[in-house]
A and B are shown apart, each in its own frame.
Chain A
Amino acid sequence: MKRFHIFWFRFRRNRAAAGGAVVLAAILALAAFGPVLYDVDPFEMVGRPFMLPFDRYPLGTDVAGRDILAGIVHGARVSLMIGVLASVAATIVGVTFGAVAGYYGGKIDDILMRTTEFFLCIPSFVLAVVLVAIFQPDVVTVTIAIAVVSWPSVARLARGEFISHRDREYVLGCRAIGMPDWEIILLQIMPNALPPIIVVSSLMVATAILTESGLSFLGLSDPNLVSWGYMIGVARTVLRSAWWMAAIPGAMILITVLAINLVGEGLNDALNPKLRK
């Protein structure tokens, strides 16, 4: 509890981070309660296409006469969900790879790190496009594809942390009393190595949302779900006659990604105070 208080104190001191957290909370609330409060099907043709915002519908209608606000509200859920899940999956895989490689070193390290580098040397968005195109685009494959292109950076970071910890006295002490390796990795080193990883994976949520938007902009998204990137993709062809159709979901992505980045920065400052100096 004490540790949390220190963390919270430090986090709050960073005003930008606090602001980001407020915005992010609002967007999370939108995703959680929005579809319940504004219960309009985002695929329903509610009226004439190209209706202006603040006319009959708060944000107007899109090229197929669908309510844009409904799309924003439902899309928030999909965009955030894919972002968070992909980031969690990438973190779990990355930390596992990095922890094992960093703790054991030697041949295991070589094998795991060469594998990681194999993924690192392919441009990540291109790899994601290829993965989604090979498997049929649906919400699961999109999430997996984003996780697959995101985990290597976490693995590198985790490995570095584990290397720096594995020869410290507390670890040597654990070994001396005969603690099994998994217990040392999970219960002893992990809590100490976690702060920088939390920062990186929180920022990864933002990248994942952007990647998902990029994929659905290219039409490589789950055709049964609305996401913000999908909405931009739909509006792209009419960009010059109805710019707001793409600008509204675009602004949502911008705000969300910005908020996550600010929060991530704040976490960084709060969890690694020494780094600041």
Chain B
Amino acid sequence: MTNLVEIRGLTVEATTDSGRWIQILKGIDLDIAAGETVAFIGESGSGKTTAAMTLLGYARPGCRISGGTVKVDGHDMVTLSEKERSALRGTTVAYVPQSAAAAFNPAATIMDQVIEVTRIHGLMPPDEARRRAVALFRALSLPDPDGIGDRYPHQVSGGQLQRLAAAMALIGDPKVVIFDEPTTALDVTTQVEVLRAFKAVTAQRRVACVYVSHDLAVVAQIADRIMVLRNGEVQETGSVHDILTRPTHPYTKELLHAFHPDAGGRTAAPVSDDSAPLLEINTLSAGYGPPQSNGQPLVLAVKGVSLQVKRGTNLGIIGESGCGKSTLARSIAGILPACKGDIQFNGKELWHSARQRSHDQLRDLQIVFQHADTALNPAKSIEDILGRPLTFYHGLRGRARDARVDALLDMVRLPRALRHRRPAELSGGQKQRVNFARALAAEPKLILCDEITSALDTVVAAAIIDLLKELQRELGLSYVFISHDLSVIEAICDEIIVMYRGQTVETIVPAARQQPQHPYSKLLFSSVPKLDPTWLDTLDLDPERMRVA
């Protein structure tokens, strides 16, 4: 029996700035049977997306397929002409992009874009295409399947748009669909719905799927087999069960280990409970827009939040996007002055605006941003980036400053030779370490970490978390850790605050094995994918909890 997809000895090359060609995929073999789902998993730069794109016969600009065959339904996508490939795209192979929001044209209605494939290939009359689309919307459990097609992309939510992108891919009745990290940008609660819809539709239509992801737990729910990629080479291929329970390759083991960050690694808070809290916030409110007649801003993002951080302990703030957790961090840091409430830091009242705070107060409270790409000045060397706070806060210059920069690089486990590089010459994980080292340079008492691991791969993120714990033991820091990723927060925090629509709904102490009580926290905690492949099918989101969301 022949397989639907047969990849043999596939190599892809990319050109460097100096015109040299280097191999980024080094000989990949893979078979996919009809109706089977295979997941490509690996860190960023492992070549998983490049491998998936070859099924479309596509290589990104600057890349070329240099060898091997990619047979899809009997056609070799490598040797076909561009015209023949176009004929197969959308009808035999289809693609669902990572960011549906960027993939839809904001100026056309959703229906027009979903049925565009049938128009291009002349598959069916528009009326029939519309009927099929509505049937797909229904199968993907979209709300209002008859009317949603008349809306524009900005009128539906991110999770709905992702499902609509899947409908767009499925309308031409393809035999293979490529999902490129389709749920990475979604909240966990939304991700559950989207995954369910994908799984149901692809199973019903017996479509073979290639699912590209770096999230092993998501893949465990949806795939039959997993292919682990690293540096353009296949590390391991096997059934989901085998990979999860009997990984043979060291990298797969590392990946699995990164999924269970050991919470036990943290030593108990060294300072006794009776000491005054380092940071205390009372009924803090903050928002955006011009002040209204009642003195509040137009949109209130944080509504009367109170919290406490004791010396040497960590506080986690968790919630879905738009719940106000980042706004809270920004108003604590003084970037967005709060409109109400008060902030006590280190026994003193803090001004709401950073401008009015003293030099020492600014130094003691540092914030680390999510995107190291934009938080590091691309025009400056690592040395200058780390050196500036040393000069600014501690007056270090010359050799003393150089020595301290070296010490900081050692602290965040980066080679000293990196000091002369620019941020663009570092990897994502390295950049985030520099970003963090800059906050350490100030020698602060408290560091606000705003989603610092969410842009990183699981393995890299786990390494950063370990680093944070270690530095805390050595330097006696406190962290306020903001994230939407529960496993990260559980690994490092002594106390977790669940935020929902600008308010705190619950405080949880993981050490006390405390279970969430509030319906929203329950929903949030139960939506985090587990490695168990049966998790999605057995997950029971009871209607009462769904209503809160």
Interaction A to B: no
Using a CB–CB cutoff of 8 Å, the interface residues on chain B facing chain A are none
Using a CB–CB cutoff of 8 Å, the interface residues on chain A facing chain B are none
